[in-house]
């Protein structure tokens, strides 16, 4: 459901994406590296500063010789080059190659809202968002190309229209751009943290604090490259705001509001605080549980959850063309709804996005109420 009351304030600018001075002419974009970006990889810098580029596409531009860096010999301009303050990076952004993705016409695409600029999708669990290793067909991107063919001309050719994503086994809301202008505007809003995203999760154990903010690093786990960890200091930071809505004998229902949007961020933050998401085998959410008489029914319900019990239930942002405040809410899918009912028979009420939505250029963000 979409709601459109207006007004609001915005989140702080994301330094890594907004600090560089970017200018452009008809053929070339120039990025001047700021002190806060010292040590960032060249491909990551370009992807963060130029909305039309994914990191993969930025790296391909570097490898093809379309990028120059002041003070660096051409042979040493590689995707992994660590930039220094004051460097001037010039890139000749190349037109997108024709899409080789095949539209998926039989997909059950759940459209929540659509206009000429964007489409909001309620993604079911089990659907991969974009093609990648092991999933080259029948992804959300393939379904979007069948539904809105113009998406093929927007953004990165391997991820047309996308400005964010959610994991395969996470369900819920995401916005996709249908025009280059909308893509650039939404990508900038994500970089500034002015798009509000809330998730509901069922986690193992009784979370002690009613509210907490988790701030950590974000990096690949050193011993399992499928996972991420917040225990390694690095250039990337991750921040989640957590609110406990209910507790049962064996579990808690938690709302997570994202300040950053790192891969596996919520799953990582909860697991590393001893409360993995129920059903999340990668992060410890499938483990033996006590089966006392009191807990037996809950243990059975938790054991039946075969994917992470995580749902992106609320999404709020300003329309990229009109500035109108858009708010969307989605109910958890059947498997998660059944789990919530089994664990919390008195019901759980998810807080709605009734806060004022951020406006461009403002410096505050909404919070859970």
The tally of domains found in the chain comes to 3
Q: For residues 93 and 119, which has the higher predicted lDDT (pLDDT)?
A: 119
Strands of the chain (E only): list them: 2-3, 21-24, 29-32, 67-69, 88-91, 111-114, 118-123, 171-177, 196-204, 211-217, 219-220, 228-229, 237-247, 251-258, 310-318, 325-329
Show the tokens assigned to 91: 């890139």
Residue 271 domain-assigned?
A: yes
Residue 356 lies in a domain: no
Query: What is the three-class DSSP state of 21?
Result: strand
Mean pLDDT (the chain) is 85
pLDDT greater at residue 206 or residue 134: 206
Answer whether 364's CB lies under 8 Å from 9's CB.
yes
Are 66 and 138 in a shared domain? Answer: no
Quote the percentage of the chain above a pLDDT of 70. Answer: 87
Tell me the average pLDDT across 77-99.
Answer: 85
pLDDT of amino acid 287: 77
Q: Are residues 220 and 333 in the same domain?
A: yes
Q: Is the pLDDT of residue 12 over 90?
A: no
Catalytic residue among 43, 106, 117, 167: 167
Range of the domain at 137: 97-192
Q: What angle do CA 40, 45, 49 make, to 5 degrees?
A: 145
Query: Do both 105 and 171 map to the same domain?
Result: yes
Under 8 Å between Cβ of 112 and 320:
no
List, in sequence order, every residue forming a beta bridge with 328; answer none if it has no partner.
Answer: 2, 315
How confident is residue 97, by pLDDT bands cut at 50, 70 and 90? Answer: low
Backbone angles phi, psi at 223, to 5 degrees: -110, -10
CATH number, domain containing residue 73: 3.10.290.10
pLDDT digits (tens, 9 = 90+) for 302-344: 999 999 999 999 999 999 999 999 999 999 999 999 999 999 9
Residue scoring higher pLDDT (135 or 362): 135
Report the DSSP beta bridge partners of residue 352.
none
108 and 235 co-located in one domain: no
Name the range with the highest mean pLDDT among 94-103, 122-131, 328-337: 328-337
Report the pLDDT value the prediction gives residue 52, as an integer from 0 to 100.
Answer: 65
Is 102 part of a structural domain of the chain? Answer: yes
Lowest mean pLDDT among 84-88, 97-101, 155-159, 259-263: 97-101
Look up the pTM and report it: 0.74
Average pLDDT of the segment spanning 228-244: 86
Predicted confidence at residue 191, as pLDDT, reads 82
Reply yes or no on whether 122 is catalytic.
no
Kindly report, residue by residue over 161-215, the tens digit of the pLDDT: 999 999 999 999 999 999 989 998 998 888 888 899 999 999 999 999 999 999 9
- What pLDDT score was predicted for residue 137? 83
Cα 302 from chain centre: 26
């Amino acid at each position: 459901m979409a709601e459109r009351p207006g007004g609001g304030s915005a989140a702080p600018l994301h330094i890594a994406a907004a600090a560089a001075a970017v200018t452009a002419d008809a053929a070339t974009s120039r990025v001047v590296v700021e002190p806060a970006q010292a040590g960032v990889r060249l491909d990551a810098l370009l992807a963060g500063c130029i909305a039309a580029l994914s990191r993969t596409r930025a790296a391909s531009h570097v490898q093809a010789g379309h990028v120059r860096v002041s003070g660096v010999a051409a042979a040493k301009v590689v995707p992994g080059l660590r930039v220094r303050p004051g460097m001037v990076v010039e890139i000749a952004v190349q037109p997108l190659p024709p899409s080789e993705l095949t539209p998926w016409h039989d997909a059950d695409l759940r459209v929540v809202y659509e206009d000429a600029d964007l489409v909001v999708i309620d993604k079911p669990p089990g659907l991969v968002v974009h093609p990648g290793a092991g999933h080259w067909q029948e992804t959300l991107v393939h379904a979007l190309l069948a539904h809105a063919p113009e998406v093929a001309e927007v953004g990165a050719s391997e991820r047309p229209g996308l400005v964010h994503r959610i994991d395969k086994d996470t369900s819920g809301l995401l916005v996709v751009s249908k025009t280059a202008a909308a893509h650039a505007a939404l990508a900038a809003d994500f970089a500034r943290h002015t798009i509000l995203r809330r998730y509901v999760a069922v986690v193992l154990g009784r979370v002690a604090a009613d509210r907490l903010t988790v701030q950590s690093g974000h990096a690949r786990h050193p011993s399992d490259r499928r996972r991420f960890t917040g225990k390694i200091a690095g250039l990337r930071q991750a921040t989640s705001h957590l609110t406990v809505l209910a507790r049962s004998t064996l579990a808690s229902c938690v709302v997570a509001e994202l300040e950053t949007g790192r891969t596996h961020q919520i799953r990582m933050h909860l697991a590393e605080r001893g409360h993995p998401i129920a059903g999340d085998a990668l992060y410890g959410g499938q483990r033996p549980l006590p089966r006392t008489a009191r807990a037996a029914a809950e243990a059975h319900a938790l054991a039946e959850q075969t994917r992470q019990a995580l749902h992106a239930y609320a999404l709020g942002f300003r329309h990229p063309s009109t500035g109108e405040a858009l708010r969307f809410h989605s109910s958890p899918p059947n498997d998660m709804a059944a789990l919530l009912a089994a664990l919390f028979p008195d019901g759980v009420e998810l807080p709605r996005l009734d806060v004022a939505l951020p406006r461009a250029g403002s410096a505050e963000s909404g919070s859970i109420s």
